[in-house]
Amino acid sequence: MHAELRPADPDPTDSQQALLRLHAAGGTTASRRQLLESHATPAAALAAGRRAWRDAGLDDAQIRALEREETDDLARSRTWLAQPDHHLLGWHDADYPPLLRRISSPPLALFVAGNPALLWHPSVAVVGSRSPTAGGRDNAYDFAHALATSGLAVASGLAAGIDTAAHQGALAVESGLTIAVLGTGPDVAYPRDNAALMSQIADRGTVVSEHAPGTQVRREHFPSRNRILAGLSLGTLVIEAALRSGALITARCASEGGRDVFAVPGSIHNPLARGCHRLIRDGAGLVERADEVIAALMPMAAELAATLRQRLDIPTTGPVEHPRTPIQPPLLDDPDYQRLWAALGHDPTGMDRLIDRTGLTAAELSSMLLVMELEGHVSNLHGRYTRKTLSPNAPETGAGRGK
């Protein structure tokens, strides 16, 4: 058994086209999610016909859209998906991000440029003002850099200001991971000045949107973008935000979803600190260093690792612990993991050398190493992997969930 994220669909091409049709039907997503849940594949859901569609709760406008012939929007989406490293994940898909399933209104589908497996990786949303102070911009960069160095992914919205600094801070780490969640189509950078940054993120990380390719900027899309950003992340860190700020929407979505919310305090004379101070008064964790965020999120990261192991059908032996003695991964009854564990040493080893030693592909090794890293068995420094012999217990912090 190779530990890869695998398509759960026996007819992925047909179902991708059907999922595009269901996505393009628009309207409320709950009824379309219900339709997908009641059929084996999107292709089967589309072929079920009017009666099944209506039974699932689709309205007349959605039904007419499903019966419509080819449109320019559908053709644009197909053209975009035909390009390398472009993907479509649907509600029916076993690879749909598990944390996103837990929010109150999860998207029907996600258009992904880059590595879709990164949507399973533990991440922190770093958000704030589009017009930050110089100190706020530096804080966003420094926090993101430290979070990425620790192995966490940094998620943000590709907006100007704090978002841009957060993505740049993560990318400055050689093996740093970052996720850009867009309020436009996956091929539309906003602001336009961030087009090069978006391309770099797609190459090194992941760009994701619930909107079809070609979707332009619309004000109403950004609050819904914020709910996805919060939903994909273990927690949300607000660097600088005014009292009326989109960053506070992200923080509220995180709090309502039971995720941790953190805020960096600032000067009482800085109007961009007032949103953070309100969050702290409402119960968000006051943080001054990235390691406070990292320690607070360790338990949820372990839970996500267990979910990934179940997705990959890796045997589990109980809850994740943080032992103080040399560890032997419980997944070594799988022969591929035996080979990988034997290939790893106590000196950092690059991916090319691991491919030579194990005979496994880069995709297989990436998924397996991700599991082992999340479980605390492997450390990753600048893309080089080594066995981890100690995993000390995390310190307590005062960080908490916003109320």
Give the 3-state DSSP-derived string for 41-67, with helices as H, strands as E and coil as C.
Answer: CHHHHHHCCHHHHHHCCCCHHHHHHHH
The per-residue pLDDT for 350 is: 82
Tell me the backbone φ, ψ of residue 294, rounded to 5 degrees.
-60, -45
Strand partners, 207: 113, 180
Nearest to 309 by CA among 142, 43, 98, 125: 98
Question: 314: helix, coil or strand?
Answer: coil
**Angle at CA of residue 168, ends 162 and 169, nearest 5°:** 85
Q: Looking at residue 349, what is its pLDDT?
A: 84
What whole-number distance in Å separates Cα of residue 4 and Cα of residue 101? 20
Q: Is the pLDDT of residue 12 over 60?
A: no
Whether 219 and 249 have beta carbons less than 8 Å apart is answered as no
Tens-place pLDDT, residues 253-275: 999 999 999 999 999 999 999 99
Residue 342: which pLDDT band, with cuts at 50, 70 and 90? confident
pLDDT of res. 112: 98
pLDDT tops 90 at residue 52 = yes
Of 58-67, 339-348, 358-367, 375-384, minimum mean pLDDT range: 375-384
Rounded CA gap, 288 and 267, in Å?
13
Would you state the pLDDT for residue 111? 98
- On the 0-12 / 13-18 / 19+ scale of CB atoms within 10 A, 390 is exposed
pLDDT of residue 1: 32
Q: What is the pLDDT of residue 382?
A: 64
Q: What mean pLDDT value characterizes the chain?
A: 86
Instruction: Say whether 10 sits in a helix, a strand or coil.
Output: coil
C-alpha span between 83 and 24 (Å, rounded): 20
Q: Is the dihedral of CA 109, 114, 117, 123 positive or negative?
A: negative
- Which strands form 206-209's sheet, in the order they lie side by side? 86-90, 109-114, 206-209, 178-181, 153-156, 123-127, 235-238, 260-263, 285-286
Which 3 state secondary structure label does DSSP give 232?
helix
Residue 312 has pLDDT above 70, yes or no: no
Q: Is the pTM of this model over 0.85?
A: no
Omega prior to 191 cis, within 30 of 0 = yes
What is the band of 14 on the pLDDT scale with cuts at 50, 70, 90?
confident
**Residue pair 32/12 in contact by the 8 Å Cβ criterion:** no
Residue 338: per-residue pLDDT: 80
Among 15-19, 35-39, 102-106, 347-351, whose mean pLDDT is lowest? 347-351
In this predicted structure, the answer to whether residue 352 has a pLDDT above a threshold of 90 is no
Across the range 142-156, mean pLDDT stands at 95
Q: Token pair of 307, please?
A: 């979910």
Using DSSP bridges, classify how beta strands 86-90 and 109-114 pair: parallel, antiparallel or unpaired. antiparallel
Determine contact, residues 346/34, Cβ cutoff 8 Å.
no
Confidence check: pLDDT of 17 > 80: yes
Please give the Cα distance from 211 to 167 (Å, whole number). Answer: 21
pLDDT at 397 over 60: no
Tokens matching residue 334: 């799988």
pLDDT digits (tens, 9 = 90+) for 356-381: 888 888 767 777 787 777 767 787 76
What values do phi and psi take at 162, rounded to 5? Answer: -60, -45
Q: Which strand (E) or helix (H) includes residue 107?
A: none
More confident residue, 140 or 321: 140
